Amino acid sequence: MAHVAEAHAHDAHGHDDQHHDHHELGFWRKWVFSTDHKLIGIQYLTTGLAFLLFGFGLMMVMRWSIAHGAAALPEWCGSFLHSIFGDAVFDKVVNSETKAVTGYSLSTQGYNVFGAMHGTIMVFFGIVPVAFAGFANFVMPLQLGAIDMTFPRLNMASFWSFFISCVIMVWSFFVEGSAAKSGWTNYPPLAGVADTGPALHPVMNGGTLWLIGMVFNITSSLLGAVNFITTFIQLRAPGMTWGRIPFFCWAQFITAYLLLLAFPPLESAAIMNLFDRVFGSSFFMPTGLMVNGLGFDGQPLQFSGGGSPVLWQHLFWFLAHPEVYVLILPGIGMVAEIIACNTRKPLWGYKAMVGAIFTLAFLSFIVWAHHMYMTGMGPKVAAFFQTTTIIISIPSVILLTALLLSLWGGSIRFNVPMLFATAFLPMFGIGGLTGIPLAFNAVDLYLHDTYYIIAHFHYIIAPGTIFAIFAGVYHWFPKATGRMMSETLGKLHFWGSLVSMNFLFMPMFFQGMGGVHRRWWDGGAGAYSATVGPWLDWNLKISYAAWALGAVQMIFVFNFFWSIFRGRKVPNDNPWDATTLEWDTPSPPPHGNFIKPITVYRGPYEYSVPGADKDFTPQSEPPAGTPAAVPGHAAVPAHA
Amino acid sequence: MSDPHSSAPAAESQAHASTDHGHGSYLLHARPYFMVGAALFIFTGITVALSYVDFDHLFNSHGMNIKIGMAVATFKVCLVGAWFMHLKQEKGTIWRPLLFTFFFCLGLFLLCLLAYTDPIQTTSHPLH
Amino acid sequence: MEIPYTVRPRPDTGLANPKLGIWLFIASEVMLFGGLFAGYIFMRLGAEPWMWPHGWLNVPVGTFNTFVLIASSVTIILSWEALKMRNYKAYKVWLALTWICGLLFLAVKLSYEWPAKFNHFGAYIKKEAAEKYEPFLGNEGPDGRLFRGLAPRLFISGHLTHQHSGESKAEFKAREHKAWADLKDPSVKTIQIDALDEENGNNPKSPEHDRAHFIPRDTVHMHEPVILQKSDLIYGYGPFYPKLNTYLACYFMITGLHGLHVLGGCIVFIYFWLNIKGGSLLYHTNHPQLCNRIEVAGLFWHLVDLVWIFVFPIFYLL
């Protein structure tokens, strides 16, 4: 009786989840609506990289406006851009005598549109999908020895929610009035009134679509974060104790926690802003607000009042501060892996680094108002946030120092991933250290909203995280495709990017200290030349560096696609001679990832172990002299 | 004759559905739930009753009704969390991050309140 | 090749995947509602002290709804216990009671509470024009609000129309429709109110109106309709919509989002309750997995109850 019942239960298990393994999948289930983490990771990566390019393109047009003001764009792009984006964004440049249209220039409103969307796209549609969702999806289950993520269907749902948000954001460029224009930070009261009015649709306008797109994006990140945390805790291979987990996975785990807890207040703020725009409520509209050109001039705006614009700032920055750590931690994780692999020695201070990211994550929730020093904060609250902000610099410095010390005494091979990873260190150092003065509100009083801030955060994200992303792409490309990317093109890409990025962002520190403000459509040449005049020459030079940087990225794009088809095939599954578990799979890994059950016997960075016969020992290699342990005992049961 | 059946009497009774068990058996474990449920009902009534008492006047302080109401609500939430959501028996992996969540949530409220109640009063500029 | 630990817990962590997953989701929901409550805090602090409404919501109905939700929290956990002990009948009965309670909660909210707001008219009077409406505001003179040291009342509310005796339902509906339409019509300069709320229509100076009442009071039919000039009113006059004031904005947003969560929970419970492949049929094929599913859904449902435990006093009582 009992045996029959048990046998019955056994059969039944096969029919529950993942039953699709038993039969061949059609094209759509295999290549589009896949639940396999590797494909979902690639979907996030490619979408994210495309958006990075798009956001970068927006900025290149903005740099023309900064350098040349209202002068017409070059012919080869002016009318083309105007035909795509329309009159809301591009003005016609008219010859005053002949009245003929000689070209198109970015209008002032267009500059605001491109500026707001550049920020939004790069942060939420570029870096987070690539560095977090893309790489973590592809690499983390492999590094943990898992066959997939804990909730594969939820993973797929997260990607498609993200995709919907991408469609909405792109669509917002093509509605009346074009896309959101109140900054990536979307401060009210402007955020409540921009893109509203009799000529505009109540919902299909840039500002409202931005909010709806953000809600989908946030939902996607939240569901993804649940998946990553459960995978990290539950699906580690047998023998993978906490101290044997590669630092990349720790970094992604903490990033997932930051997203999980910090994103929802922004979602609630976005819902409140949607209420304000669609239902006319006054969550963020203060009493007695008057806006020129809206409502009757001199009359208060048509809102009930009683709202608080500063509430939006609190809720936004409650997310956006942990968000900046979301932007950097996956990068640090990738750089750590690549440095260990290419110095042929273990990471220095692995435990300190893990402790540092825990501390960083905790503190990041109580520092947000250092973005709000200009909102009229009194001494008590300002002192609190200055103190916590200074304290949070300590874990960041620990991370950077540990990575630097990891280079010491290493036998370094400067392949392309290592070039990017090594350059990351001083670049992130510059970005991080220039942030320390900003922790003090007395300094921030002067530097807030100037180009100093732009240089500070771009140094961290651009030659920081984006270099880490490039390093990750070059490093894991062979695993994902079975081919190597071209070293020569990679080195050209690296040096071109490094030089142009520094020419692009370094002068901005000095411009900022000289008083050049953010978000000036003409770089200050019009109204402010008297105060910042000496710095305006730099605008054109910086723009040249930006355009050069854009040109150099074409090398990467070409290399990426060319290598998929014509790249040199990998000599074996582990071309970098790395120790972590993802290199124990075929390149590219099949569905189910591992062709034999995996047990972990050692730590993740067993490089150059004295007395060993090779300079690296994979994590899954049994200790010398013992037979391979019989898999499946303490392990993954065959059925749950 | 005795072999196939006597070997697994326990498994047999487990494999069968509800007929072996009376309606009472699951209710044996249910007593804490009924008690917590009753407590929640009672404290809801208490919350409503307390809201009609003017504590601000009694304690001569501002916002006392809100504080008392929130204290009762927090107590009820703890009852639900501990017994209905089984947090009392749950692993540390579950309730430790939850503790952090509540800490961050409180941080959001309290720091926002601090910012609200602590604006710049005046400048030290000689002319203003 | 199945994902391990989807049903049985992992030995070293002691957890099964769905339980960990739902607790993480619950943590994020706590932060979501935390953000919304932070909004409420700011709105309340930012309002003039006298302007935050009290007594606009029906406390007995709200208390009833609270009892319904608490009962559903008890029934879901009984359902889970019964399921674990393999009492199929009891499991189904308690589970059905759970989603019935959930739908009852929504029905009360959507058929009574929210429409009661939408059918109610309210208007804030501009300070300069307050004297004209003094008979309905009760601010001046001995026993007036100002005399008693209270802030002036500047709000008039009630029902625009009231069914007169002898009037047919159709006529009344037509009149009601026209009254609401006239609000938006710029050529109509006045608003006529047939029935006022007690504090406006029944001796506005009485100290009775200064305290909260448990039993909600009816509107007062006015012998002569009250006429308001639109130009004397602050923008947003009309039904009790989010745009009228920040209290209503908070109320609709928070109860709306909470209601969506109740609806989501009910849908999930109905799905599990039905005899379908992912639902109650699992009782026979994979009993532990069904236990997990009910437990996980129950945890979500308890979160929904938790949020309501805070929402109820904040909006109805304080």
Q: What is the CATH number of the domain that holds C295?
A: 1.20.120.80
Nearest chain B Cα distance for residue C285, angstroms:
11
Strand order in the sheet with C155-159: C220-229, C190-196, C155-159, C121-124, C238-239
Give the CA distances from residue C175 to residues C50, C179, C238, in Å, rounded to whole numbers and listed in that order: 34, 6, 16
Q: What is the distance between the alpha carbons of residues A9 and A250, in angstroms, rounded to a whole number?
A: 37
Cis peptide before A189 (omega within 30 of 0): yes
Give the CA distances from residue B38 to residues B25, C141, C306, in Å, rounded to whole numbers and listed in that order: 21, 50, 16
**Number of other CB atoms surrounding residue A404 within 10 Å:** 15
A42: left (phi over 0), alpha (psi -120 to 50) or beta: alpha
Provide the residue type at C180 as one letter: W
Cis peptide before A74 (omega within 30 of 0): no
The model's pTM: 0.91
Give the CA distances from residue C65 to residues C302, C305, C313, in Å, rounded to whole numbers and listed in that order: 15, 11, 12
**Number of other CB atoms surrounding residue A197 within 10 Å:** 12
Our count of domains for chain B comes to 1
**Comparison of pLDDT for C142 and B76, the residue scoring more:** B76
Q: Are residues C113 and C247 in the same domain?
A: yes
Write the residue in A147, A300, A307 that is nearest to C3 by C-beta: A147
Q: Return the closest-CA partner of residue C283 out of C122, C109, C87, C145.
A: C87
What backbone phi and psi angles, to 5 degrees, belong to C122? -145, 150
CA A57 to chain CA mean position, Å: 17
C222 belongs to a structural domain: yes
**Number of other CB atoms surrounding residue A572 within 10 Å:** 9
pLDDT in tens, C64-91: 999 999 999 999 999 999 999 999 999 9
Nearest chain C Cα distance for residue A258, angstroms:
10
Q: Would you give the end-to-end CA distance of chain C in angstroms? A: 55
Chains that touch A (3 or more CB pairs under 8 A): B, C
Residue contact B120–A310, C-beta within 8 A: no
Closest chain A residue to the Cα of B122, Cα to Cα:
A378
Residue A8 confidence (pLDDT): 40
Residue contact C27–B98, C-beta within 8 A: yes
Tell me the residues of A at the B interface, defined by beta carbons under 8 Å apart.
1-2, 5, 233, 257, 261, 265, 310-311, 314, 318, 362, 365-366, 369, 372, 375-381, 384
Q: What is the distance between the alpha carbons of residues A495 and A489, in angstroms, rounded to a whole number?
A: 10
Provide the residue type at C288 as one letter: P
A202 three-class SS: coil
Q: What is the DSSP-derived secondary structure letter of residue C109?
A: I
Q: Which residues contact C187 (CB under 8 A, 6 or more apart)?
A: none
Provide the residue type at B18 as one letter: S
pLDDT in tens, A382-439: 999 999 999 999 999 999 999 999 999 989 999 999 999 999 999 999 999 999 999 9
Among C189, C212, C239, the domain-final residue is C239
Q: Which residue has the tokens 């994590």?
A: A619
Residue in B70, B76, B98 to test binding to C, most C beta-carbons within 10 Å: B76
Q: What is the distance between the alpha carbons of residues A197 and C312, in angstroms, rounded to a whole number?
A: 37
Nearest chain A Cα distance for residue C12, angstroms:
9
| Token digits of residue A395 | 């874990």
Closest chain C residue to the Cα of A21, Cα to Cα:
C1
Q: Return the closest-CA partner of residue C158 out of C104, C204, C91, C89.
A: C204
Residue contact C43–A307, C-beta within 8 A: yes
Residue contact A261–C253, C-beta within 8 A: no
Mean pLDDT of C186-211: 86
Mean pLDDT of A547-568: 96
Pairing of strands C220-229, C190-196: antiparallel
The answer to whether C35 and A267 have CB atoms below 8 angstroms apart is yes
Residue A25 confidence (pLDDT): 76
The answer to whether C318 and B51 have CB atoms below 8 angstroms apart is yes
Mean pLDDT of A43-51: 96
List C190's β-bridge partners, or say none: C229
Q: Which residues contact A335 (CB under 8 A, 6 or more apart)?
A: A403, A421, A424, A425, A468, A471
Residue contact B115–A381, C-beta within 8 A: yes
Taking each helix axis as running N to C, give the angle between helix B92-117 and helix A309-343, from 0 to 180 degrees, rounded to the nearest 10: 130
Write the residue in A1, A310, A366 that is nearest to B111 by C-beta: A366
Q: Return the closest-CA partner of residue B101 out of C234, C23, C251.
A: C23
Residue contact B114–A379, C-beta within 8 A: no
Residue contact A365–B104, C-beta within 8 A: yes
List C123's β-bridge partners, or say none: C156
Helices (H), chain C: 17-46, 59-84, 88-108, 114-118, 134-137, 169-184, 198-201, 246-273, 282-285, 287-312
DSSP class per residue in A217-234? HHHHHHHHHHHHHHHHHH
Query: Which residues from C are below 8 Å from B98, CB to CB?
Result: 23, 26-27, 30
- Residue A627: band (very low, low, confident or very high) from pLDDT cuts 50, 70, 90: low
Q: What is the distance between the alpha carbons of residues A600 and A622, in angstroms, rounded to a whole number?
A: 8
Residue A301 confidence (pLDDT): 67
Query: Which residues from A are below 8 Å from C278, CB to CB?
Result: none
- Residue C258: band (very low, low, confident or very high) from pLDDT cuts 50, 70, 90: very high
Write the residue in C13, C25, C243 that is nearest to A304 by C-beta: C243
Q: Are residues C166 and C180 in the same domain?
A: yes
Q: What is the DSSP-derived secondary structure letter of residue A130?
A: I
C90: domain range? 17-117+243-317
C6 belongs to a structural domain: no
Q: Return the closest-CA partner of residue A411 out of A339, A333, A491, A332.
A: A339
Write the residue in A225, A283, A639 that is nearest to C249 by C-beta: A283
Using the predicted structure, report yes or no on whether residue B8 has a pLDDT greater than 90: no
C234 belongs to a structural domain: yes
Residue contact B98–C23, C-beta within 8 A: yes
Nearest chain A Cα distance for residue C17, angstroms:
6
Q: What is the distance between the alpha carbons of residues A344 and A415, in angstroms, rounded to a whole number?
A: 13
A179-183, A479-483, C124-128: least confident range: C124-128
Residue B5 confidence (pLDDT): 43
Q: Are residues C82 and C49 in the same domain?
A: yes
| Token digits of residue A279 | 């239902």
| Token digits of residue B82 | 């501990």
Q: What is the distance between the alpha carbons of residues C147 and A333, in angstroms, rounded to a whole number?
A: 68
Give the CA distances from residue C71 to residues A296, B27, C82, C101, C197, in Å, rounded to whole numbers and listed in that order: 53, 16, 16, 8, 34
| Token digits of residue C267 | 């849908």
Mean pLDDT of C250-279: 94
Residue contact B115–A379, C-beta within 8 A: no
Give the CA distances from residue A482 to residues A34, A223, A566, A585, A618, in Å, rounded to whole numbers and listed in that order: 20, 30, 11, 11, 19
Residue C268 confidence (pLDDT): 95
The answer to whether B83 and C80 have CB atoms below 8 angstroms apart is no
Residue A593 confidence (pLDDT): 86
pLDDT in tens, A61-70: 999 999 998 8
Using the predicted structure, report yes or no on whether residue A335 has a pLDDT greater than 90: yes
What backbone phi and psi angles, to 5 degrees, belong to A371? -90, -5
Nearest chain A Cα distance for residue B106, angstroms:
11
User: Chain C neighbours among B 18-37 (CB < 8 Å)?
Assistant: 18, 21, 23, 25-27, 29-30, 33-34, 36-37
pLDDT in tens, A536-548: 889 999 999 999 9
Mean pLDDT of A270-282: 92
Among C239, C259, C277, the domain-final residue is C239
The answer to whether A194 and A242 have CB atoms below 8 angstroms apart is no
Residue A298 confidence (pLDDT): 54
Residue B127 confidence (pLDDT): 62
Using the predicted structure, report yes or no on whether residue B76 has a pLDDT greater than 70: yes
Nearest chain C Cα distance for residue A88, angstroms:
30
Q: Would you give the end-to-end CA distance of chain A in angstroms? A: 22
The answer to whether A406 and A340 have CB atoms below 8 angstroms apart is yes
A126-135, A312-321, B65-74: least confident range: B65-74
The answer to whether A211 and A270 have CB atoms below 8 angstroms apart is yes
pLDDT > 70 fraction of chain C, expressed in percent and rounded:
100
Residue in B13, B51, B70 to test binding to C, most C beta-carbons within 10 Å: B51
Q: Are residues C197 and C138 in the same domain?
A: yes
Mean pLDDT of C89-104: 95
Mean pLDDT of A235-252: 95
Q: Are residues C233 and C178 in the same domain?
A: yes
DSSP class per residue in A273-290? HHHHHHH---SS--TT--
A430 three-class SS: helix
Using the predicted structure, report yes or no on whether residue A639 has a pLDDT greater than 50: no
Q: What is the distance between the alpha carbons of residues A103 and A113, in angstroms, rounded to a whole number?
A: 20
Q: What is the distance between the alpha carbons of residues A483 and A566, in angstroms, rounded to a whole number?
A: 8
Q: What is the distance between the alpha carbons of residues C55 and C247, in angstroms, rounded to a whole number?
A: 12
Write the residue in B33, B54, B94 that is nearest to C78 by C-beta: B33
| Token digits of residue A278 | 């669609």
Using the predicted structure, report yes or no on whether residue A142 has a pLDDT greater than 70: yes
Among C194, C219, C239, the domain-final residue is C239
Q: Are residues C93 and C145 in the same domain?
A: no
pLDDT in tens, A610-622: 888 888 889 888 8
Residue C37 confidence (pLDDT): 94
The answer to whether C99 and C266 have CB atoms below 8 angstroms apart is yes
Using the predicted structure, report yes or no on whether residue A445 has a pLDDT greater than 50: yes
Write the residue in C246, C257, C285 that is nearest to A304 by C-beta: C246
The answer to whether A218 and A266 have CB atoms below 8 angstroms apart is yes
Q: Are residues C249 and C107 in the same domain?
A: yes
Residue C93 confidence (pLDDT): 94
Nearest chain B Cα distance for residue C67, angstroms:
7
Q: What is the distance between the alpha carbons of residues A404 and A336, in angstroms, rounded to a whole number?
A: 10
**Comparison of pLDDT for A420 and B65, the residue scoring more:** A420
Residue A626 confidence (pLDDT): 65
C146 three-class SS: coil
pLDDT in tens, A6-23: 444 444 443 444 444 556
Residue B88 confidence (pLDDT): 84
Query: Which residues from C are below 8 Å from B48, CB to CB?
Result: 59, 63, 214, 317
Mean pLDDT of C16-40: 94
B39 belongs to a structural domain: yes
Highest mean pLDDT among A88-97, A102-111, A115-124, C229-238: A115-124
| Token digits of residue A399 | 């991370």
Our count of domains for chain C comes to 2
The answer to whether A526 and A595 have CB atoms below 8 angstroms apart is no
3-state SS, one letter per residue, for A72-89: CCCHHHHHHHHHHHCCCC
Residue contact A1–B8, C-beta within 8 A: yes
Q: Which residues contact C214 (CB under 8 A, 6 or more apart)?
A: B48, B52, C59, C60
B70: domain range? 3-90
Q: Are residues C45 and C69 in the same domain?
A: yes
Give the CA distances from residue A109 to residues A181, A187, A483, A551, A619, in Å, rounded to whole numbers and listed in that order: 7, 16, 46, 27, 56
The answer to whether C155 and A304 have CB atoms below 8 angstroms apart is no
Residue in B31, B33, B79 to test binding to C, most C beta-carbons within 10 Å: B33
Query: Which residues from B are below 8 Å from A318, CB to CB?
Result: 108
B102 belongs to a structural domain: no
Taking each helix axis as running N to C, give the angle between helix A37-68 and helix A135-144, from 0 to 180 degrees, rounded to the nearest 10: 140
Using the predicted structure, report yes or no on whether residue A1 has a pLDDT greater than 80: no
